[in-house]
Structure 1
Amino acid sequence: MPDQVKRLGVAAGLGAAVLIALAGCAPSAPGQATRASDVRAAAREGEVVVYINNDVHPELVEDFQRRFPKVKLRFVVLTSRDIQARVVEEARRGEPVADVVWTSAMDTQVKLINDGYAQTYESPEAKNLPAWARWRDQGFGVTSEPIVFVYNKRLLRGGDAPRSHADLLAALRADPARWRGKVAMYDPEHSGMGFFYLSSNTQFYPDAWALYDAMAKAGARTYVPAKPMLDRVASGEHLLAFDMNGSYADWYVRGHGPDVGYIVPRDYHLSISRVAFITRAARHPGAARVFLDYLMSEGGQRRLLEVRLTPVRPGLGAVPPPGARPVRVGPALLANFDQGRRAELLDRWRQMAFESQ
């Protein structure tokens, strides 16, 4: 009996040693709480494909690759509408390409999630996000970005630049001739972001329709992509671009000299988030989880801050401008796809006879 006990003790000791050794060999996820099994799977898969609707700073890619050198991060840049169409078509054909979809088109993201194109992931990092930025353990908002006015600082000096929606409305009414053809904005009929902004403004701002009417009477021009708007503000063809993503505006302003600036409206501003989800049929689900956790982790959020994408996690040094109206990630955004409501909004919009580019 003593020999049996001794042998059992030796076996138990060997078992513990094996477990310790295995634990020591377990892959790590530096700076994030990703499960070791997902890190191992990511290394085997070797790649994660992400659909995005904005260029992402190469520093973000470099940081991820440094942390996970066995996982190639591949971004595919598309419009939000093209992303939606591709995800649906890939699922229909059973030929998935995207592992993660990460865009600022919050309503389109929620629609895809609601229609079953996302998979559930109980991320250990999600608890660090505000409640409004999480939905069903499927959709995760990882930034908090203000919607701003971009303006020509050479032509709108000092107090001439509107500091709020109310200021812009007053300026358009007071001197429509000065503003004739001088306002640029997204076309809500042909731009997913444009419709999203139209829908959100009419919910948050009591004088939204009065402001849109004043812009139409001043001959405001509508666009689909953002860059032509900002280029024409920089050239002086337009004085102001209405409703631009603050992160994109900041990037543009820093690259185009002293003539262009942006204003966070002081009465209120929409605060939107770049929402990410893992596709239902992701070919690289382990790598997708690693990347999603990276975006939500403290390290990933600090990197977003460094590349001037405002992180959503509190306490990282980002001070949000006052007057934010965060757009919640969740089913309320599905109202933008209610055909009756959409038709009503666009019918009223068309009656104002905006000029498109």
Structure 2
Amino acid sequence: MSGAFWLALLGVVTSLVLAGCGEEPDGPATAPRTRWAAGREGALTIYTNTSLMGPVLEAFNRRYPEIHIRLEDMNSTRMADRVVAEAGGPGADLVWSSAMDVQIKLINDGYAQTYRSPHRAALPDGSIWRDQGFGLTAEPVVFAYNRRLLPPELTPRSHAELIDLFEKHGEVFRGRTTIYDAERSGVALMQLSSDVQIYPDAWRLVEALGRTRPRLDTSGQRMMGQLADGRVLFAYNMNQSYGETWAARDPDIGLVTPTDYHLSVSRVAFIPRNAAHPNAARLFLDFLLSREGQRAIARIGVRPVRDDVEATERPVVAGVHVVRVGPALLANLDRMRRDHLLTRWNQAMAGSPRAPLDPNAP
């Protein structure tokens, strides 16, 4: 019999033994047949807006040096367009994005393939959908500010305090705030939709923020850069892990996890139906979901999704609202709902400057 047959048989036996023991497997735990096929493929193409993860990719490559990784970093809207446009031929092997609702829409529309990871049972409820969409992190959404420019008495600790500051001290913030552009950023639209569903005064906050004439942007790198150099002094709804990478090297950057409520979002990955190297993608996904991969994520300051892996040193703040990986996110992309959200948001932001689409532009 062929070597492939025996590899497949070994994989079945291994799975049965693990299931019988009821224990979480060590390492990626990918079936031997899949590991062998991944090595034969020798390549992995990832589309992402998750540029923080370089050290995680390096950790994977130390274990599997035979697999060459090509990372394409782009915003979530362009990523979705690429997935759809390439559906007729070989495409990316893994699509990994913080725009949770856009990812779920692509999965719902049939662009993902099913894969039952051996680590599935170790993941919290709401982190996997249909064995196709996998939430890999659990990251708070925070306020970011410049400590040098914003004194403690004007530093908000909650959304309610932020409204009060904008309404009473608007002159301090006018022309010196920044926010993701909900019309051009899938992440921003998801956050706007979630804020409106959770917070009764969400539109009052959006309107107060709009009166400060914030710079509307699609590049977190540019937003944090302008916050660090003092061109702006406050950024609304910034991913905590991304903000912490800046705060670690710039003492002027401060972060606040709002105490009344805050979103906890996840970077969602799926393997496209037309992946050119599907076995390498399965191996990489298993690595990301394993304790080893989740520890690698935690080491770069990002809170991992698994509850049994030590997270970052920053304590969990009360009031967390977990945005679950699943079909409820599709409501954000309903045409009528989307049009209503954007119409009201654009009215609030009238007169605010828009940053260039090119993330490398100033």
TM-score (norm 2): 0.87
Residues matched between the structures, number = 333
Is 1:250 aligned with 2:248? no
Structure 1 stretches lacking a partner, 5+ long: 1-18
- Which residue among 340, 353, 356 is the counterpart of 2:353? 356
* 2:22 corresponds to: none
1:154 aligned counterpart, secondary structure: coil
Cα distance in 2 between the residues matched to 1:205 and 1:348: 16
- Which residue among 262, 265, 268 is the counterpart of 1:275? 268
* 1:47 corresponds to: 43
Moved segments of 4+, more than 6 Å:
none
- 1:54-82 alpha-carbon deviations (Å, 9 max, x no partner): 21343212210111122222211111111
* 2:328 corresponds to: 332
Quote the RMSD (CA, aligned, Å): 2.1
* 2:52 corresponds to: 56
Alpha-carbon offset, residue 30 of structure 1: 6.6
Cα distance in 2 between the residues matched to 1:309 and 1:64: 17
Alpha-carbon offset, residue 164 of structure 1: 1.0
Structure 2 stretches lacking a partner, 5+ long: 1-5, 15-24, 355-362
- One-letter amino acid matched to 1:194: A
Cα distance in 1 between the residues matched to 2:351 and 2:307: 40
Is 1:203 aligned with 2:226? no
* 2:85 corresponds to: 89
1:185 aligned counterpart, secondary structure: strand
- 1:38-58 alpha-carbon deviations (Å, 9 max, x no partner): 111111111111111121343
Is 1:190 aligned with 2:184? yes
Cα distance in 1 between the residues matched to 2:123 and 2:317: 18
2:113 aligned counterpart, secondary structure: coil
- 1:68-98 alpha-carbon deviations (Å, 9 max, x no partner): 122222211111111101111110xx22230
2:251 aligned counterpart, secondary structure: coil
Query: In 1, are the aligned partners of 2:26 and 2:291 still within 8 Å (CA)?
Result: no
Structure showing greater radius of gyration is 1
Cα distance in 1 between the residues matched to 2:135 and 2:294: 12
Larger displacement relative to structure 2 (321-330 or 303-312): 321-330
Q: 1:350 to 1:44 in 2, by over 3 A?
A: same
Query: In 2, are the aligned partners of 1:220 and 1:354 still within 8 Å (CA)?
Result: no
Q: Within 5 Å, which residues of 2 pair with 1:95-244?
A: 95-244=89-238
Alpha-carbon offset, residue 35 of structure 1: 1.0
- Which residue among 31, 36, 54 is the counterpart of 1:35? 31
Cα distance in 1 between the residues matched to 2:192 and 2:98: 15
Query: In 2, are the aligned partners of 1:30 and 1:67 still within 8 Å (CA)?
Result: no
1:290 aligned counterpart, secondary structure: helix
Cα distance in 2 between the residues matched to 1:227 and 1:34: 35
Query: In 1, are the aligned partners of 2:178 and 2:216 still within 8 Å (CA)?
Result: yes
- One-letter amino acid matched to 1:66: R
Q: 1:78 to 1:147 in 2, by over 3 A?
A: same
Q: 1:129 to 1:23 in 2, by over 3 A?
A: closer
